[in-house]
Structure 1
Amino acid sequence: MSNVSIIDLSKNEEKLERFLFKHLSFKNILDCKIRTFLNSFAFIFLIATYFLMSCNILFPTSMFTEISPLIPLTITFLLLFINSWVSYTYIRKKYSDYNIKYDLLVNYTSFIQTFRTEQLRIKISRFRISPSNIEDYIEYYESQWNEKIQRKWTKIGIITILLLPIWTEYVSKNIGNFFDQKFLLVIILAITIAIIIILFRSLIETVFFIEVNKKKKTADILKMLKRSFHTVL
């Protein structure tokens, strides 16, 4: 890094990340309050699905009990779909200048990255970033990300190794016993677990990787900004 010292990069780091991920946070960009309402109810119905399924396993009584988890599970999927469509309609209307494609999972990663890059380009003077030193910033953030991601995955790997035997023992004792008897329940269980895994992955990223991912996202935004510099030049 020849143009910017490590000290200057470090000083500018907090200021740049505050702008990109607090001022231009996902919540602020997609300020659609109905999303929180729909997500909350979807989570409640997902819990209801798990509760009814557990009751069916512990207290098997009738065919109605066996199919009852399908009702809240269907409502959960319906609410998630409505949420994704409402979010798409809102964001497409609010940011009509951007080419926004429908995202079922409501991530809109490409749009948000493009939007943040454009906002950074408009206010670039605040952060002392220029065509002559932007490569230094990119290298700094990529090195920060590589270093931190290795530490995080090492910790998660250790936790996974410790918990895997417990999970395997639970599955062998509980799931295998009723697989042949209640095929419908197994399907519902598989769908519910899939949703829980998606939510768990999101939780893991939020708890363990939110600060780490900021480094990677910042580097990617700076790369897009660098290409825009070349286009202008």
Structure 2
Amino acid sequence: MHDTLTRPQIAPHIAIAARNVTLSLGEAGHQTQILKGIDLEIPLGQSVALLGPSGSGKSSLMAILSGLERASSGEVRVGGVDFGPMDEDGLARARRGRIGIVLQAFHLLPTMTALENVAVPLELAGIADPFGTAQRELEAVGLGHRVTHYPSQLSGGEQQRVAIARAMAPGPEIIFADEPTGNLDGATGEAIIDLLFSRQRASGATLLIITHDPSLATHCDRVIEMRDGLIVADRAGGAGA
């Protein structure tokens, strides 16, 4: 009871909260500290760019905040849910419908069409009218004419559009995107970023985008920089300036 009374409370308008989060990998006595005590709050609906060089810990932080990795210590609350006491099944349930994830490598199933790649996860989650929802989301990302095509029949940019549609289709409160343009050429990457932010604004979702590209700051409300497992800067981005 005393701990509940003395622990600082997280305001209801905060979508993502991390307090003194650490991550260490390796065996006891030979551990590498990846995150060294991260404190972070992101309000509902805010778009945030997390910048930093390779090895800075930004992707590890995203993995913890999205429930794909467990913190070694500290507190993580996402969408009002405390990730601390949850096992892997609990984290999977917490992500379902609440969190959308877009990755650099697309991760589309090669034996499924674009429509099936978006609809089947909705169907498994028990969402009503999964194929109708998937059709509408693919139309929203400009792929209404490609729904019957398989990933091998789509360009890299089209595959990432399918991945964005899959992430957005359940209507998640929070979107995580890890280097979403990393496998795309410059012009295609810019189009994907424009699409990702337009879908985020349309839905009102919170967006945390992991990148090494400072130009993304012009799209974001806020820019956070990481070095060596620590947050070293936190400032307004181009959209929030």
TM-score range, shorter chain: under 0.3
Q: Greater CA radius of gyration, 1 or 2?
A: 1
Higher strand content, 1 or 2: 2
TM-score, normalised to structure 1, is 0.26
Higher relative contact order (CA 8 A, sep 6+): 1
Structure with the higher helix share, 1 or 2: 1
